[in-house]
Chains A and B, each alone.
Chain A
Amino acid sequence: MVTTAAAAWDVAAAVPDPELPMLTLAELGVLAGVETDGGAVTAWLTPTYSGCPAIAEMAADVDSRLRAAGYPDVRVRLRLDPPWSTDRITEDGRRKLAEAGIAPPGPAGPPLLRLGPTRHRVVACPQCGGTDTEELSRFGSTACKALWRCRGCREPFERIKEI
């Protein structure tokens, strides 16, 4: 079977993220490339955090989706360089995060040690849009998320941290 990389990309790109299932791996920016050579497909993934436990399931899901789509010879490989950044989350991905009640990340900048009074970014509440929000914890249910609360509508919400 001879196929095109574009068709194989579409299959791999549609795989949902195991921890943020409203996003595909392409929208999350984890899918770093797909190559074909005859019937063989190689898909490249870039892990989000060094210790992200979901990368194993991502690799397994990409593998099984490609096989189910008729590719008999599939390899999933990791690409560590350049490192994943939240800047790789697509516009569609950001919109879907917000629709699911998760505040999308702002632009990633160089991490700086800040002293003095703590000033947080202005983060809009994904429920009501209000900006009177506060961080409850920098570390949420997964390494990539922080836990926030809206003082307006009183709803807690998660947000993706810039990295």
Chain B
Amino acid sequence: MTDQHAMPGHHGAGDDHVYLALSEAGPEPDGEARWAYGTGFSDPLLGVDTTVPAGLDGADLAAYCLMLGDDALVLAQRLTEWCTRAPELEEEVALANLGLDLLGQARLLLTRAGQADGTGRGEDELAYWREEHEFRNVRLVEAPNGDFAHSVARLLLFATARGALYQLLAGHPDPVLAAVAARGVLELAYHQEYATAWTLRLGDGTSYSAARMQAGLDAVWPLLDELFTPHAVELRIGADPAALREPVLRTLAAVLAEAGLTVPGARPLAFVGGRAGRDGVHTEALGPLLAEFQVVARANPGATW
């Protein structure tokens, strides 16, 4: 910005407390909303027709959007945890960009969930004010970052499976879910390409990098199968994820073969009494993630930013 205005009560040019200065400027004049501060722009579905189409069960649609939205939200948080931790600045920027895409998808899906179930809960309420057992994400996305290769492996699995699912959902009868999927399939293609490029580079690199990449794959592979295990809600209103199993495994096998890596033989992580992430049964990794993610909102109930 080159245009600088002195504001009433302003501390003067060069003041570091930009946000403080903004708050002291008082209410915004009509039509002069400021980006990222007090714009009141809180609905990512602003003005989109949110009527649930006839023939669709609102509760099921909400539950399904919550599942997909929680997947995106939790993985977005995991990816952005790499900020200030990535091996190179470019990778830090890349991982944050991937997280931003997923966060955008999560905002739309959680907003849709709050509309479709009739509660009117907004994205913030769903993101910040639910307990661990109320989250519906698969356990893969909550897996700890591990080293960089672990995170690459997790992203490869997720992006490949989610891209395939979004291809199916782009034709969903709910126009909002269909639009999120149509947009998301293109974004997930970039995520998959990023993860594939690093899988090839590490797998086809030195024996040390290949061993680290293989270890990352071995660590997250048991969490893959949950993405293909249908929940009753998915069968009623979504796409049957079991249909993704064969094409996704074929794609992953091709990537790993090209990278000189081995398809892990580990068995899927067991369900607990037939329940897993989609039922709110999570690994011990989710609690600390949510605690960090939710702490500011919970310390300042009702705050806006």
Let me know if B22 is at the binding interface, CB within 8 A.
no
Given A78-B45, A139-B90: A53 touches B36 (CB 8 Å cut-off): yes
Check B194 against A77 for contact (C-beta < 8 Å). no
| Contact residues of B between 81 and 114, Cβ < 8 Å to A | 90, 93-94, 96-98, 100-105, 107-108
Check B100 against A143 for contact (C-beta < 8 Å). yes
Interface residues of A toward B: which range?
Answer: 35 or more
CB distance from B89 to the nearest CB of A (A): 9
A59 CB contacts on chain B under 8 angstroms: 41, 46
Check A18 against B180 for contact (C-beta < 8 Å). no
Check B108 against A50 for contact (C-beta < 8 Å). yes
A161 CB contacts on chain B under 8 angstroms: 190
A114 to B200, CA, bound (A): 11
Check A51 against B186 for contact (C-beta < 8 Å). no
Check B31 against A68 for contact (C-beta < 8 Å). yes
Given A60-B33, A111-B190: A137 touches B175 (CB 8 Å cut-off): no
| Chain B 36-61 interface mask (CB, 8 Å, partner A; 1/0) | 10010100111110000000000000
Check A64 against B33 for contact (C-beta < 8 Å). yes
Closest 3 CB pairs of A and B: A51-B104, A77-B47, A50-B104
Interface residues of B toward A: which range?
Answer: 35 or more
Given A83-B179, A83-B182: A49 touches B104 (CB 8 Å cut-off): yes
CB<8 Å pairs between A and B, sample of 14 = A50-B187, A59-B41, A59-B46, A60-B33, A60-B39, A60-B41, A80-B45, A80-B175, A80-B179, A113-B189, A113-B255, A115-B196, A115-B254, A141-B93
Let me know if A138 is at the binding interface, CB within 8 A.
yes
Let me know if B24 is at the binding interface, CB within 8 A.
no
A95 to B118, CA, bound (A): 48
CB distance from A39 to the nearest CB of B (A): 15
Let me know if A22 is at the binding interface, CB within 8 A.
no
Let me know if B236 is at the binding interface, CB within 8 A.
no
